[in-house]
C-alpha cells in the first residue's frame, strides 16, 4: 500500500490538461523566436548574441514560470478539499505526509516536464547554432528549480486554505508581490529611505524571482549589462560561481522551506483542525 499511485495520477492528470501543452508549446515557440531574432546579434557579437537572446527568454520565464507552477499547485490540495475527494483519499491506508509528498512530486514532475519539454527544443536549436551546451543546460536547470520553488509555495498556500478560489487569490498576490519587489522594483525605496546597499543585495538573493534572474544571467553571460546595478555589485562581491551558487541555493532553499511548511501545515490539520470537507461529511 503506497501513495505512489497518487503521484502518478497528478502527473497523468496534468499531462492531459491544456496548460501542459500550452506551457510546452509557448516556451518552445518563444525560444525559437528569440533564437531566430538573436541571429542578427550573433552576426555582430558572436555567441554573445545568442546569450542575449536566451536572456530575453529568461525574462519571459521569470514572469511566467512562477505562474505556470502556481496554477496547478494552488489547486492540488484546496481543489481536492473543495470537491470532497481529499477526505476519501485520507480514509485510505496512507499517511497525510505520504499524500502530500505524492501530490507535490506529481505536480513538480508535471510542471518541470512541461517547461523543460519546451525549453529543450530551444536549447537544442541554440546549441546547434553554437551556444555552448553547459549554459543552455544551466538555464534549463534554473528554470526547473524556480518551477519547483513555486510549486512548493503554491502547495503550502493550498494546504492552508479551504477553497481553490482563496488559494488562487493568495497565491497570485504572492506572485505579484515577489515580481514587483525585484531589485529594480524596490531600488527606489532603498534610495528614498537611505537603506544600506547590502540589504538590497541580500533581498535580491532572497527573492526567488530575482535570484533566478541573477543566476541565469550569470550562467549565460555575466558581462551582459542587463544584470543591473545590484547584480553587478553582487558579481563583484561573490564572483560568477559564487553568484550562481548563492542564487540557485536561494531558490533551492525556497523549495525546501515551502515544501516543509506545506507538509507541516497539512499534517497539523489532522489534529482536529482543517481536515477537509468536514461539513459535507458531518452527519
Binding residues for another protein (CB under 8 A): 1-6, 8-9, 13, 83-85, 87-96, 270-272, 275-278, 280-283
Residue among 90 and 159 whose Cβ is closer to another protein: 90
User: In the bound complex, what is the minimum distance in angstroms from residue 110's beta carbon to another protein?
Assistant: 14
User: In the bound complex, what is the minimum distance in angstroms from residue 4's beta carbon to another protein?
Assistant: 8
Alpha helices by DSSP H, listed for 84-95, are 85-90
Residue 178 backbone phi and psi in degrees, to 5: -70, -35
540589504: which residue's cell?
Answer: 199
Angle between helices 197-206 and 228-268 (to 10 degrees): 50
Contacts of 83 (CB under 8 A, 6+ apart): 277
User: In the bound complex, what is the minimum distance in angstroms from residue 105's beta carbon to another protein?
Assistant: 15
Give the Å distances, CA to CA, from 280 to 86, 90, 258, 275.
Answer: 12, 15, 29, 12
C-alpha cell at 21: 501543452
Residue among 4 and 48 whose Cβ is closer to another protein: 4
Residue among 127 and 277 whose Cβ is closer to another protein: 277
User: In the bound complex, what is the minimum distance in angstroms from residue 278's beta carbon to another protein?
Assistant: 7
For residues 100 and 268, what is the distance between their CA atoms, to the nearest angstrom?
12
Residue among 33 and 89 whose Cβ is closer to another protein: 89
Residue among 125 and 155 whose Cβ is closer to another protein: 155
Cβ–Cβ under 8 Å, residues 61 and 69: no
Residue among 7 and 230 whose Cβ is closer to another protein: 7
**Nearest residue to 214 (alpha-carbon basis) of 255, 189, 222:** 222
User: In the bound complex, what is the minimum distance in angstroms from residue 87's beta carbon to another protein?
Assistant: 6
User: In the bound complex, what is the minimum distance in angstroms from residue 106's beta carbon to another protein?
Assistant: 12
Q: What is the C-alpha R_g of the chain?
A: 20
CB-count burial class (<10 Å; 0-12, 13-18, 19+) for 243: buried
C-alpha cell at 44: 555582430
User: In the bound complex, what is the minimum distance in angstroms from residue 171's beta carbon to another protein?
Assistant: 20
User: In the bound complex, what is the minimum distance in angstroms from residue 14's beta carbon to another protein?
Assistant: 12
- Other C-beta atoms within 10 Å of 175: how many? 20
Residue among 120 and 277 whose Cβ is closer to another protein: 277
Residue among 214 and 265 whose Cβ is closer to another protein: 265
N-term to C-term CA, the chain: 29
Amino acid at each position: 500500500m503506497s501513495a505512489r499511485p497518487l503521484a502518478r495520477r497528478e502527473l497523468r492528470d496534468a499531462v492531459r490538461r491544456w496548460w501542459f501543452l500550452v506551457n510546452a508549446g509557448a516556451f518552445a515557440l518563444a525560444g525559437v523566436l528569440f533564437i531566430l531574432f538573436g541571429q542578427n546579434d550573433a552576426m555582430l557579437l558572436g555567441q554573445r548574441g545568442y546569450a542575449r537572446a536566451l536572456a530575453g527568454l529568461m525574462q519571459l520565464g521569470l514572469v511566467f514560470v512562477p505562474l505556470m507552477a502556481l496554477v496547478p499547485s494552488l489547486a492540488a490540495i484546496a481543489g481536492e478539499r473543495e470537491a470532497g475527494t481529499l477526505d476519501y483519499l485520507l480514509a485510505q491506508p496512507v499517511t497525510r505526509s505520504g499524500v502530500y509528498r505524492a501530490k507535490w512530486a506529481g505536480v513538480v514532475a508535471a510542471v518541470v516536464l512541461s517547461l523543460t519539454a519546451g525549453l529543450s527544443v530551444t536549447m537544442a536549436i541554440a546549441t546547434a547554432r553554437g551556444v555552448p551546451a553547459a549554459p543552455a543546460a544551466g538555464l534549463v536547470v534554473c528554470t526547473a528549480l524556480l518551477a519547483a520553488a513555486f510549486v512548493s509555495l503554491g502547495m503550502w498556500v493550498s494546504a492552508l486554505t479551504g477553497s481553490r478560489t482563496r488559494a488562487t487569490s493568495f497565491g497570485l498576490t504572492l506572485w505579484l508581490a515577489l515580481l514587483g519587489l525585484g531589485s529594480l522594483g524596490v531600488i527606489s525605496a532603498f534610495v528614498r529611505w537611505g537603506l544600506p546597499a547590502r540589504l538590497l543585495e541580500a533581498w535580491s538573493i532572497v527573492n526567488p524571482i530575482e535570484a533566478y534572474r541573477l543566476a541565469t544571467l550569470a550562467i549565460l553571460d555575466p558581462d551582459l549589462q542587463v544584470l543591473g546595478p545590484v547584480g553587478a555589485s553582487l558579481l563583484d562581491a561573490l564572483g560568477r560561481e559564487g553568484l550562481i551558487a548563492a542564487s540557485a541555493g536561494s531558490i533551492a532553499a525556497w523549495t525546501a522551506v515551502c515544501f516543509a511548511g506545506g507538509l507541516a501545515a497539512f499534517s497539523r490539520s489532522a489534529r482536529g483542525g482543517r481536515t477537509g470537507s468536514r461539513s459535507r461529511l458531518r452527519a
